Amino acid sequence: MTKNNMGHKESNYYAIITADVRYSDKLSSSEKLFFAEITALTNKTGECWASNKHFAELYGVDPSTVSKWVKSLEKNGFIKVRYVKDGKQIKERFISIIKGSENNQYPIENNQQGIEKTQRPLLKKSQGGIEKTPKSNTTSSNNTRKTTTIDTLPKITPAMEKVIDAWNDTFDIVVDESNQQLLEAISSAIQEFEVANILQAIEYRSYAKYYKEVKPDLRDNPKSFFMWPETIQTDMKRRPYKLITYRKKCELEQKGTDKRFEIDPNAEDSKGQPKWRMYD
C-alpha cells in the first residue's frame, strides 16, 4: 500500500472498532465505521493521510460528509488531526488514533521513528477465500513473538441471517461471514432499519440502473451497502419500476413493448385487482 494509493481494495489490514468507540452514544454508526477504516489505514506508519475526496469516492458520499465525520471523531477525542501547511494553505493532513481507556485500547508499539502504530492482523488471500494471519512483533533482544488477538465474531442472529441470505440469493455471491467488520455493520444496520426495509433496499439495488451502468463494481459488494447507512437509505428509494393496472399492461404488450412486467404482491387497483410492476 503506497502513499499515493490508499484504496480500500489494496488495504490488507484489519479494521478495528475499540469498545470506547463502539459503545459511544456521541457517534453515529457511520462515524464508528469510519473510525475503523482509519485504524486500517494507520497500520503501517501510525497515521492516515487519505483525503476527504478519497473517502467520498470510495464510499459514495459527499466530501462534506467525510469532513463532518472527521470533526466529530476529533471533537470526541478518538483521533488527532495534524496539518502540514505551505504558508497559509494546507498541503497535507494526517490522522492518528488516540488510545482509549486502559480496558478499551488495542496493542501498540513504537516504531523506529517513534510513531505509534497499531498491531492488527493481516488479511491474507488464499485460493479458498480469506484467512486471518495475525501480524507478529519480534523483539531484537530475545526474539520473542507477540501475537495480537481480535474480538470474537458477532453472533449471527436470525434477522442477520435473513438479510445475509437475501444478499446471497439476490447477487448470487456468498457474504464473507468471517469478516468481523462486515458482520458488525450488518448488525448495526438491522438496529437502525427495519429488516423489511433492508430487504427492499437490496431488491431495489439489484434493479437500479445506477449500479448496472455507473457503479457496476459496487453493485454486489456488501461492504459498500451495509457499512454506510446513507447508502441503505438511498437504495430504499431506488424503486426500479412503475405500478400499472393489468389493463395498461395488456395495452403495452399489444403495442410490442420491451418492458418487463411482474405482479406486485402488495398493490391493488380500485377494483381490488393486483397491480403490475413495469420495469424499464
pLDDT digits (tens, 9 = 90+) for 38-53: 988 887 778 898 888 8
- Tell me the mean pLDDT in the region 65-93: 85
What pLDDT does 73 receive?
93
pTM of the model: 0.41
- Tell me the mean pLDDT in the region 62-73: 87
Q: Which letter, b or e, does each residue of 187-221 get, where b requires 16 or more Cβ atoms within 10 Å of its Cβ?
A: bbbbeebeeeebbbbbbbbbbbebbeeeeeebbbb
Taking 90 as the threshold, does the pLDDT of residue 108 lie above it? no
Least confident interval from 3-7, 38-42, 130-134, 169-173: 130-134
pLDDT band at 137 (very low <50, low <70, confident <90, very high): very low
State how far the Cα of 171 lies from the Cα of 223, in Å rounded to an integer. 13
What sign does the dihedral 55-61-67-73 (CA atoms) show?
negative
Comparing 77 with 83, which gets the higher pLDDT? 77
CA distances from 8 to 14, 108, 184, 193, 231 (A): 11, 22, 18, 26, 17
- Tell me the mean pLDDT in the region 109-132: 35
pLDDT above 90 covers a percentage of the chain that reads: 25
| Average pLDDT value over all residues in the chain | 76
Give the angle subtended at the CA of 123 by the CAs of 100 and 108, to the nearest 5°. Answer: 25
What pLDDT does 138 receive?
32
Q: What is the DSSP letter of 168?
A: H
pLDDT digits (tens, 9 = 90+) for 148-180: 334 467 788 999 999 999 999 898 888 888 888
- Tell me the mean pLDDT in the region 23-29: 89
pLDDT digits (tens, 9 = 90+) for 214-266: 999 999 999 999 999 999 999 988 877 788 899 898 999 898 888 888 898 88
